[in-house]
Amino acid sequence: MSELHLPWLEAAVLLPLIGAICLTRERDPERARHWCLFFAVAAFCCVFCAWLDFESLEAERANDGWRLLSPIFEEPVLVIDELSGPLSSLTALLYALAVAATARTKARRFSFRLTLLSEALTLATLNCQRPWMLIALLALGGLPPYLDLRLRGQPTRIYAIHMTAFIVLMVLGWRLATSQDASRPAMAWSLLPLVAAVLIRSGIAPFHAWLSDLFEHARLGTALLFVAPLPGAYAAVRLLLPIAPTGVLQSIGLLSLATAIYASGMALVQRDARRFFCYLFLSHSSLVLVGLEGVTPLSLTGAMCVWLSAGLALGGFGLTLRALETRIGPLSLTDFHGLYEHTPNLAICFLLTGLASVGFPGAFGFVGMELLVDGVVSAYPYVGVLILLAAAVNGIAIVRAFFLLFTGKKYFSAVSLQVRARERYAVLALAALILIGGVFPQPMVDCCNRAAKLVEQQRWASWQGTSVMANKPAR
């Protein structure tokens, strides 16, 4: 395997950048789609090879090889570990499937250049562990959705205000966190800007308005790919968890739990399919933060599993909604549509991915939700009941949306609404991964457990380095 020890991560970031540059002069939308798919698939192959390289070699050897950026930077810029390996592979897969499932009728209005630029920035973010560079990449990652809104002539004020606040608070928060003595009691106050930045980027209430605004006005594929990797949770893991006192993490967990319940209730009463998906996604991303802030091995493992399973299931759920929008336009949840006879494959995928996201037995999300509840209950007994309540309401909302979209009446169409081959392959790939992960969950659970141990070790090492531990982290 040593012969394959190549600069996979650098190639995974540079290939989409090269593709975005090459597509600047391409005017044929079909050719642009083919080239974008080529670069997206190549990036996924590189990320997956980097993960295999890391798993097959020791960590020191896997991150100590030939690197393209070594003449510029003394230390490695992009580093893979137990957390970034599966997360980067899932993200690259979602980008490739989103491009592959883009219908020919939507290719002219879909910005493939911005998609490749967004993929490059996202993959670089998920494999960056230098704090200031990570902050810079998180700031740059907000540009593609903003440019997409501008190109479509949609309002950008709400999105721009929240992203600007996120960047300013992130820079200020990390500056204060690194300038304060960790042994001083005022450390928690110095972390408030950083906490606020994480809450904004994660869409935690009351900082969630930008998320619903983005899904309402941006292209559904752009909004989905922007939020699916959960960069807010990644920023919390890399920047906040290692240094934050237990009280700060508990406050974030309580806000996230309240947001999960609130978002599940909002998803149940939405009249627009995009806003329904937005609140459904927000509820699941908040549950990930609840598990992360528990800072116990079991809760961290459950949070990592829900992170991956929700990204996979809700990614497929969003692509299914996108395919339905392509056929009949904006989807309303105020009346029955009766689309099952025309698109049975999309109906099955809609129900499968939706139920998988809430932890239905037989899907990978079931194992993650069980671990999350068990881990949180061991530390906070009453919180587990509220997590199950949020998951149950989400399940009811998904079944309600399924009946409204696919049953109730006969739908008459002058054109065929059948799934195209590219969409069918994308849907089947996601469905297969969900079912395989549910039948054979152990490999991914082991991977998530190693990632949880890494996060706990980093947190414990950070607190061990302080002279006076005024508030020891939870074990």
Beta-bridged to residue 78, according to DSSP, are 128
Amino acid (1-letter code) at residue 113: R
| Model pLDDT, residue 398 | 94
| Model pLDDT, residue 141 | 93
182: which DSSP letter? T
Mean pLDDT of 275-304: 89
Amino acid (1-letter code) at residue 140: L
Percent share of the chain, pLDDT over 70:
88
pTM across the whole model: 0.89
Q: In this structure, what token pair is assigned to residue 18?
A: 């090269």
Phi, psi of 332, deg, nearest 5: -105, 145
* Burial state string for 264-274 with b = 16 or more CB within 10 A and e = fewer than 16: bbbbbebebbb
pLDDT in tens, 336-354: 888 888 788 888 888 888 8
Whole-angstrom Cα distance, residue 201 to residue 168?
Answer: 12
- pLDDT at 16 > cutoff 70: yes
Beta-bridged to residue 128, according to DSSP, are 78
Taking the CB of residue 422, how many other CB atoms lie within 10 A of it? 17
> Out of 228-232, 274-278, 374-378, which region has the weakest mean confidence (pLDDT)?
374-378
Q: Which residues contact 433 (CB under 8 A, 6 or more apart)?
A: 312, 364
SS3 218: coil
CA 301 to chain centre: 16
Mean pLDDT of 407-420: 69
pLDDT in tens, 147-198: 999 988 899 999 999 999 999 999 999 988 887 654 443 466 778 999 999 9
Whole-angstrom Cα distance, residue 385 to residue 393?
Answer: 12
Q: Which residues contact 114 (CB under 8 A, 6 or more apart)?
A: 20, 144, 147, 148, 222
Q: What is the mean pLDDT of the chain?
A: 84
Question: Confidence class of residue 469 from pLDDT cuts 50, 70 and 90?
Answer: very low
SS3 441: coil
The residue that leads in pLDDT, 196 or 425, is: 196
pLDDT in tens, 231-241: 999 999 999 88
| Distance linking the first and last C-alpha atoms of the chain | 37
| Model pLDDT, residue 346 | 85
pLDDT in tens, 43-56: 999 999 888 888 87
- pLDDT at 275 > cutoff 60: yes
Whole-angstrom Cα distance, residue 240 to residue 177?
Answer: 9
Whole-angstrom Cα distance, residue 264 to residue 261?
Answer: 5
- The answer to whether 88 touches 43, Cβ cutoff 8 Å, is no
Question: Confidence class of residue 474 from pLDDT cuts 50, 70 and 90?
Answer: very low
Amino acid (1-letter code) at residue 4: L
Q: How far lies 12's CA from each of 36, 123, 224, 443, in Å?
A: 14, 7, 20, 24
CA 168 to chain centre: 22
Beta-bridged to residue 332, according to DSSP, are 272
Q: Which residues contact 120 (CB under 8 A, 6 or more apart)?
A: 13, 14, 15, 16, 17, 20, 43
Percent share of the chain, pLDDT over 90:
37
pLDDT in tens, 70-119: 555 556 678 888 888 999 999 999 999 999 888 777 777 778 899 999 99
| Model pLDDT, residue 103 | 77
Whole-angstrom Cα distance, residue 175 to residue 99?
Answer: 38
State yes or no: cis peptide before 206, omega within 30 of 0. Answer: yes
Whole-angstrom Cα distance, residue 475 to residue 466?
Answer: 17
Mean pLDDT of 215-230: 92
The residue that leads in pLDDT, 62 or 416, is: 416
Which of 174, 240, 244 lies closest to 470, judged by CA?
244
- pLDDT at 3 > cutoff 50: no
| Model pLDDT, residue 416 | 58
Q: In this structure, what token pair is assigned to residue 464?
A: 């061990």
SS3 392: helix
| Model pLDDT, residue 18 | 93
Within 218-328, residue ranges assigned H as helices are 220-227, 231-235, 246-269, 273-294, 297-328
Q: In this structure, what is the dihedral angle of CA atoms 79, 171, 203, 210, given to the nearest 10 degrees?
A: -120
| Model pLDDT, residue 242 | 86
- pLDDT at 58 > cutoff 60: no
| Model pLDDT, residue 182 | 46
Whole-angstrom Cα distance, residue 316 to residue 323?
Answer: 10
